[in-house]
Amino acid sequence: MSSAEPDRVVPSPLLGGIYRARRPSGPVVGVVVVVVCLLVGQTAAALVLFPLLGASAAAAVGGTMTLVDQLAMLLSFLGVVGMLALWVRLKERRPFGSVGFFPASRVGVHLGIGAAVAVVLLGVPVGVNLLSGQFDVGAVHVAQIGGAFVALVGFAVQASTEEIITRGYLMQVTYRKWGLTAAVALQAVVFSLLHGANPNVTVVALVNILLIALLLAFWALAEGGLWGVCAFHAVWNWCQGNVYGIEVSGMDISTTMLTTAGTPGSAPLLTGGAFGVEGSLLTTAVLAIGTALAYLAHRRARSAAR
């Protein structure tokens, strides 16, 4: 059977996209492509966006970000997805949508489920911290609600780009050569390493990032595409930062609907400390359960397709 055949039997329609390629890449080249796209694509876009929007580059690497800073940083991921789109189209000779957006069926349902699950899963560690007195919430910042919704656009770009390069492209090229287990494992390792240099990262935070990578990988495999995980990732980040006012993977955002912070004497292992709630053991428990459920959903979908 030719490696370019799109109708090859695979564990998930998501993985079938690589068989549309006339000149598919392998896992090693795939990792290089992802790294180059991130380094070159995001840097090039940032060099345009930061001066254009009047944003502070210093704030994007550790300071508190205004809405403009946040948008410039998040929208710079357009350079990443743009470079990957060129590689997929010009080198691999396949449609860009084949990285995880074909078939485009029940898109609204998948997006809605992704957003809803993000709100629920994040609400558990935040709610437990609030009820136990570990978190304290300030007043609602009415004047910043509009800006917070604008920021959702930026998170949609950033989160979708990360899903495309890891749960989409990298899983596909790895599966074709090394199989499903290696595909899931490699994207999880790469995704975790990409977040390893974030400000105030901890061991618990890295474990949680790894769990998120596994949860979203099995979810994407079960769905057969990236629509749901893109929505989950975007809303997960947005609710932390622009809704609750919690640090997002160490990123401090100033345009928020609420201000949620640890109370005096609160336990960083529960609140996540300066990394945000993604560094909380409560989040570890929630993500572990979510990962197990996503894996079962993937297994059911795979059995049903046989």
Cis check: omega of the bond before 24, within 30 degrees of 0: no
3-state DSSP of the chain: CCCCCCCCCCCCCCHHHHHHCCCCCCHHHHHHHHHHHHHHHHHHHHHHHHHHHCCCCCHHHCCEECHHHHHHHHHCHHHHHHHHHHHHHHHCCCCHHHHCCCCCCCHHHHHHHHHHHHHHHHHHHHHHHHHCCCEEECCCCHHHHHHHHHHHHHHHHHHHHHHHHHHHHHHHHHHHHHCHHHHHHHHHHHHHHHHCCCCCCCHHHHHHHHHHHHHHHHHHHHHCCCHHHHHHHHHHHHHHHHHCCCCECCEEECCCCCCEEECCCCCHHHHCHHHCHHHCHHHHHHHHHHHHHHHHHHHHHHHHHC
Confidence at residue 104, expressed as pLDDT on a 0 to 100 scale: 85
Which amino acid belongs to residue 230? Answer: C
Residue reference for tokens 């945000």 = 276
CA angle centred on 197, ends 52 and 202, rounded to 5°: 130
Rounded mean pLDDT, 123-136: 97
Q: What is the pLDDT of residue 5?
A: 47
Answer whether residue 176 shows pLDDT above 80.
yes
How far is residue 283's CA from residue 277's CA, in Å, rounded to a whole number? 7
Q: How confident is the model at residue 283 (pLDDT cuts 50, 70, 90)?
A: very high
Q: pLDDT > 90: what percent of the chain?
A: 89
The pLDDT of 111-117, averaged and rounded, is 98
At residue 4 the predicted structure's pLDDT band, cuts being 50, 70 and 90, is: very low
- The pLDDT tens digits of the residues spanning 61-88 come to 777 899 999 999 999 999 999 999 999 9
pLDDT in tens, 82-104: 999 999 999 999 999 999 999 88
Model's pTM, two decimal places?
0.95
Q: How far apart are CA 80 and CA 40, in angstroms?
A: 8
Residues near 1 by beta carbon (within 8 Å), at least 6 away in sequence:
8
pLDDT at position 304 is 85
Report, as an integer, the average pLDDT of 39-53: 96
pLDDT score of 8: 62
Residue 11, CB-side half-sphere exposure with 13 Å CA sphere: 20
> What is the rounded average pLDDT of the residues 254-259?
96
How far is 79 from 69, CA to CA, in rounded Å?
A: 17
Is the pLDDT higher at 55 or at 9? 55
The pair of structure tokens assigned to 65 is 């970000």
Q: Which pair of tokens denotes residue 93?
A: 């000779």
pLDDT score, position 250: 87
Mean of all residue pLDDT scores within the chain: 94
What burial class does residue 203 get, using C-beta atoms within 10 Å of its C-beta: 0-12 exposed, 13-18 middle, 19+ buried?
exposed
Quick one: which of 297, 291, 303, 120 has its CA closest to 223?
297
**Predicted confidence (pLDDT) per residue in 203-226, tens digit:** 999 999 999 999 999 999 999 999
Task: Tell me how far apart the alpha carbons of residues 216 and 211 are, in angstroms, rounded to a whole number.
Answer: 8
